Structures are given as structure tokens and as C-alpha cells.
Amino acid sequence: MGWNRQVYQRLKLAFKLGLRRQIFIAVCDDLTRRDRLAAQLQSELGVDSDSSFPCFVSLRLNLSDPNPISQVNRWLAQHPRSSRSNGGCGIPGFQIVGVEQLTRQPAAVQWSFLNGLRQIRESLPRWEPSLLLWVSRPWLHSIEQSAPEFWRCCTGVFEFQG
């Protein structure tokens, strides 16, 4: 079994466990591979067989408000619990792609993203979903250095080759 396949299986298992409030980072510098892996994860975890409500939601980072936590909260507000099936997966997990687009944005937008990550400690006690943030290696290092609060809350880092 190749390295990337092993890492993918561990990542998928981490979400299948259904634990709440997990913060994961997936590192992949090859955007084509990243897109393929994210699509595969969405396909395999996306919908519970007992309902049409998603168990796993893919979001692209909103560059006009690059706060992943706010973006997930907006999605949850637009899909209230009362409309969800009682069975199945409950609160969905989320993956966010598109962080690499921040590289071509003004510094203020990049800092807005990092500030949003820094606020995770305050949000976590009230926050139910699990989050997977897809990043490149340069963004992994930026997050580690510039958003240590987020880094300390991170449950796992999954590094893909390529």
C-alpha cells in the first residue's frame, strides 16, 4: 500500500469515527491530487444511506470572508437541525479547500484568514462539527507560526506526498 493511500485511509477513518470537535489539517502541494483526494473523501463520506442529509460537506474558502469557522457556521445556519433526519450522522464533518488561493491575495486577506483560525479556542466549546482544512506546506508553516492557538487545537495532520 502506497504512502498516500495509507494517509488517506487514516484520514477517512478519523472522520468515520464520528467524534465531534476534531480539527484536522491535510497537507498536499499537488492541487490535482488534492482535488482528487477531497472528491474521493466527499464521495465516500458525503451522504448517509438512511437520509439525504450530508454527513460530510465540502466548502471552498470564501476569499471575501476567509474565516473557515464562520463559513461552517453559515452553512449550519442555512441547514438547521430541525430539517435534518434524526437518524444517520447528525452534525456533518466539513472539509475546506482553496486556502492556496490566499497566496495571491493582499496581506489583509491573509491575516483575516489567520485571525479566524486564532479564534478557534473560543469557538470550540460551543462548536460541534469536525473540520478538515486542506493546505499546502507553505500554508502549514504559516498557520503553525501565525496561528498557534489553532495549531494547539489541531487533532491531526495528514501529510500527502506530491
Q: pTM (2 decimals)?
A: 0.91
Cell, residue 2 = 502506497
Distances (CA, A) of 100 to 15, 59, 82: 23, 14, 35
To the nearest whole number, what is the mean pLDDT of the chain?
Answer: 89
pLDDT tens for residues 105-137? 999 999 999 999 998 878 877 888 899 999 999
Cell, residue 103 = 497566496
Q: Say if domain 3-10+21-159 classifies as CATH 3.40.50.
A: yes
Q: Which residues are bridge partners to 58 per DSSP?
A: 95
Cell, residue 70 = 464562520
Rounded CA-CA distance 31/86 in Å is: 36
Name the more confident of 18 and 86: 18
Supply the pLDDT for residue 86.
Answer: 43
- What does the domain layout of the chain look like in residue ranges? 3-10+21-159
Supply the pLDDT for residue 136.
Answer: 97
